[in-house]
Amino acid sequence: MKFKKILKWIGSIIVLLAIFMYLNNSSLFTKERNGDPLLLAHRGLSQTFSMEGIKGDTCTAERIFEPEHPYLENTIPSMEAAFDAGADIVEFDIRPTKDGQFAVFHDWTLDCRTNTTGEPKAYTMDELKKIDIGYGYTADDGKTYPFRGKGIGLMPSLKEVLSHFPDKSFLIHIKSNDREEGVQLAQLLSNLSGNQQNQIAVYGGDEPIAALKGKLHNIRVMSKSTLKSCLIPYIAVGWTSHVPEACRETQIHIPEKIAPWLWGWPDKFLNRLEEVDTRVIVVAGDGSWSEGFDAVEDLDRLPEGYSGGIWTNRIDKIAPVFHHKKSR
């Protein structure tokens, strides 16, 4: 009889705990979120391509879709177009140069999309300015090259971008896991005003991100290490409303396939992270590649009324959806 009472007592505790977990993490019982999503334009406004069968060494410039606009990724014109279209944040990639600068360029080598070979670090910034970054783009297996000759001089330096857009928000991607790149970037960013630093977040390899954060504590950062340090403890204890220290004052990118499994998703989770000054960006798919919400119908996969961050490769298609809502 005593054993049955113990089982009944345990059962009651489990039921009460389940009720608490539901009520404490249901978006039905949380502060209403009325704002529009934060729109992050990946590489500015760029040429998109098929993700089918893509690998780490795939030359994406050779598989672009038929161009719908004249912009090339990671250029000042593409960033201007992205902001004009409605981007809140523009993401771009950086690579070190021979003369101690950072070039804004995505690929590990220049071979795929330019008329030059080798890594950017083998060239000075002045030399990189002379190459044609539109040379290798083709939508018809090499029959035509619509951007050939149009990309000369378009590769900017990081300093140029930050000088050209002093009041805009950026996500900077360190492409390597080289600690010294984090140190070098920290030195460059330390020369910016506090306001401009507050508009910048940086993500990349564990080593450079740790080095940068060690020197610039106020910069939002993200790496695989920081993401794990945040999400694993949150999955363990987030049902209590506790937000782990590693989730505070930072940035996290959540694959859409993982997001529904997070305690309080979407509104209560977003409110919790917002209260600790952390920015949440949802990326498409499982996070393996830089997939985005690139078509209007893609937005249907997000929760109704979603107001967190959205990663997109086609800001020109996604931003008008929310502009239209504002105008109604």
Q: Which amino acid is it at 133?
A: I
Q: Is 279 exposed, middle or buried (0-12, 13-18, 19+ CB in 10 A)?
A: buried
The 10 Å CB-count burial string (b at 16+, else e) for 61-73 is bbbbeeeeeebbb
Give tens-digit pLDDT for 163-221: 999 999 999 999 999 999 999 999 999 999 999 999 999 999 999 999 999 999 999 99
Average pLDDT, the chain: 92
In the predicted model, what is the mean pLDDT of residues 239-260?
Answer: 95
Contacts of 213 (CB under 8 A, 6+ apart): 219, 221
Residue 95 backbone phi and psi in degrees, to 5? -135, 140
Query: pLDDT of 44-71, one tens digit each?
Result: 999 999 888 888 889 999 999 999 999 9
Q: Residue range 292-321: average pLDDT?
A: 95
Determine how many CB atoms are found less than 10 A away from the CB of residue 252. Answer: 22
| pLDDT over threshold 70, residue 20 | no
The SS3 call for residue 112 is coil
Check pLDDT > 80 for residue 263: yes
Q: Rounded to the nearest 5 degrees, what angle is found at the Cα of 315, between the Cα atoms of 196 and 103? A: 50
pLDDT digits (tens, 9 = 90+) for 118-168: 999 999 999 999 999 999 999 999 999 999 999 999 999 999 999 999 999
Residue 9 has pLDDT above 90, yes or no: no
**Type and span of the H or E element at 310:** strand 309-312
% residues pLDDT > 70 (the chain): 93
R_g of the chain computed on alpha carbons: 22
- Is 293 in contact with 312 (CB distance < 8 Å)? yes
User: pLDDT class for 18, splitting at 50, 70, 90?
Assistant: low
Say what angle helices 206-215 and 179-189 make with each other, to 10 degrees: 30
Q: State the residue for tokens 């950017």.
A: 120
pLDDT at res. 146: 98
What is the Cα–Cα distance from 201 to 309, expressed in whole angstroms? 14
In degrees rounded to 5, what are phi and psi of residue 149? 85, -10
- Residue 304: CB partners within 8 Å, gap ≥ 6? none
Q: What is the pLDDT of residues 76-133, one digit of tens each?
A: 999 999 999 999 999 999 999 999 999 999 999 999 999 999 999 999 999 999 999 9
pLDDT score of 328: 37
Residue with tokens 């523009």: 90
φ and ψ at 150, to 5 degrees? -100, 0
Three-state DSSP class for 192?
A: coil
pLDDT at 253 over 90: yes
pLDDT of residue 50: 87
**Following DSSP, what letter does each residue of 195-214 receive, concatenated?**
HHHHTEEEEE-HHHHHHHHH
Confidence of residue 327 (pLDDT cuts 50, 70, 90): very low
Cα gap 304→301, rounded to integer Å: 9
pTM, two decimal places: 0.93
Tell me: pLDDT of 324 over 60: no
